[in-house]
Structure 1
Amino acid sequence: MPKKHKGLLLTFCCILLLSIITAGCGGGQSGSTDEAGNEHITLEFWTIALQPTFNDYFNTLIAEYEKDHPNVKIEWKDYPYDAITDKLLTSIASGGSPDVVNLNTEFASQMGSKGAVVDLNEYLSDEQKGAYFEGIFNSTVIDGKAYALPWYTGTEVLFINTKIAKEAGLDPSNPPATREELAEWGRQVKAKTGKAGYAQQLVSKLFPIEGVSILTEDKTAAAFNTPEAVAMINNMKKLMDEGVIIKEDANFTKQIQYYSGEQTAFQLGGPTFINFIKTAAPDVYKNTIAVPLPTGQGDLRLSNSMNLVVPAKSEHPKEAVEFAAFVTNAENQTSFSKAANTLPSTKASIQDPFFSETDGSLEAQAKVVSAQSLAKATDYMVGVPNAQDVNSAIARGLQNILLNGQDAQKTLNEVEQEVNGILQQ
Structure 2
Amino acid sequence: MPTNPLSRRGFLLAAAATTALGVTGCGLGGGTEDNADTGPVTGDVTGEIKFQTWALKPKYTDYINGMITAFQQQHNGVKITWIDQPADGYLQKVTADAAAGNLPDVINVPPDLSYPLARKKLLLNIETAAPDAKKDYVDGGWAAYALPGQPGSYGFPWYLNTGPTFYNKALFRQVGLDAEHPPTSYAELEAAALVMAQRSNKQIAMLGLTPVIADFGLYGVKVMNDDGSKFTFNEAKGVEFVEMYKRLFDAGALIPEALSATYTGAGTKFMNQQIAWAPGSAYDLQNFKTNAPSLYANVGITKTITSTGKANLYVQGLSVPSASKNKPTALAFARFVTNAQNQMAFAKLTAIFPSTKGSMQDPYFAQDGGTDEGRVRVAAAKQLDTAVNYTPVQWSEQMTTLLQQKMSDAMQGKATPKQALDDTVAQCNKLLAG
TM over 0.5: same fold? yes
CA contact (8 A) 2:281 2:351 kept: no
Tell me if the contact between 2:212 and 2:403 (Cα under 8 Å) persists in the aligned partners: yes
* Whole-Å separation in 2 of the counterparts to 1:81 and 1:141: 25
2:293 to 278, 282, 285: 282
Task: Report the counterpart of residue 172 of structure 2 in structure 1.
Answer: 165
TM-score by structure 1 length? 0.86
Q: Kindly tell me: are residues 192 and 414 of structure 1, through their superposed partners in 2, closer, same or farther at Cα, counting changes over 3 Å?
A: closer
Which residue of the other structure, out of 304, 312, 325, is the alignment partner of 1:293? Answer: 304
> After superposition, what is the alpha-carbon deviation per residue over 1:135-170, rounded to whole angstroms, capped at 9, x for unaligned?
232122124420122222211211122222222222
- 233, 237, 243: which one aligns with 2:252: 243
Counterpart for residue 3 of structure 2: none
Instruction: Give the distance between the partners of 1:323 and 1:402, measured in 2 at CA.
Output: 49
Name the residue aligned to 1:89. 95
> 2:334 matched to which residue of 1?
324
**Residues 211 and 299 of structure 1 are in contact (CA less than 8 Å); yes or no, is this contact kept in structure 2?**
no
Q: Partners of 1:347 and 1:314 in 2: how far apart?
A: 28
Aligned 8 A contact 2:210 2:407 in 1: no
Query: Is the 2:158–2:317 Cα contact (8 Å) retained in structure 1?
Result: yes
Aligned mate of 1:406, from 401, 412, 415 = 415
The 1:263/1:173 distance shift into structure 2, 3 A limit, reads: same
CA distance in 1, matches of 2:263, 2:65: 29
Q: How many aligned positions are there?
A: 406
Aligned AA (1:141): A
Choose 350-359 or 414-423, whichever is displaced more.
Answer: 414-423
| Residue number in structure 2 paired with 1:213 | 222
1:153 is matched with: 160
The aligned runs of 1:25-36 (5 Å cut-off) are none
Task: Give the one of 85, 91, 115 matched to 1:109.
Answer: 115
Matched, 1:224 2:233: yes
Match of 1:191 among 180, 192, 198: 198
Does the CA contact (< 8 Å) of 1:132 and 1:345 recur in 2?
yes
Corresponding position of 1:258: 269
Deviation digits for residues 265-292 of structure 1 (CA, Å, limit 9, x no counterpart): 1212233322332332122123213221
Output one character per residue of 1:309-352: Cα deviation in whole Å (capped at 9) or x when no partner. 22232222332222111111111111101101222222321111
Q: Which amino acid aligns with 2:382?
A: Q
Q: For 2:339 and 2:398, how far apart are their aligned partners in 1?
A: 31
What's the offset of the Cα at 1:399? 4.3
Look up the match of 1:335: 345
* Secondary structure in 1 matching 2:103: coil
2:166 partner SS: strand
Q: Partner letter of residue 257 of structure 1?
A: T
For the aligned residue pairs, the C-alpha RMSD in angstroms reads 2.9
The percent of aligned pairs where both chains have the same amino acid is 26
Give the secondary structure class of the aligned counterpart of 1:319. helix
Q: How far does the alpha carbon of each residue in 1:204-238 deviate from its partner, in whole angstroms, 9 at most, with x for none?
A: 11211111111111112222221221121121122
Matches within 5 A, 1:262-273: 262-273=273-284
1:98 aligns with 2:108: no
CA–CA separation in structure 2 for the residues paired with 1:228 and 1:262: 31
Give the gaps of 5 or more residues in structure 2: 1-11, 36-43
Structure 2 CA distance, aligned partners of 1:39 and 1:309?
17
**Are the structure 2 counterparts of residues 45 and 130 from structure 1 closer, same or farther at C-alpha, using a change threshold of 3 Å?**
same
For residues 180 and 209 of structure 2, what CA distance do their matches in structure 1 show?
Answer: 24
CA distance in structure 1 between the aligned counterparts of 2:372 and 2:412, rounded to whole angstroms: 34
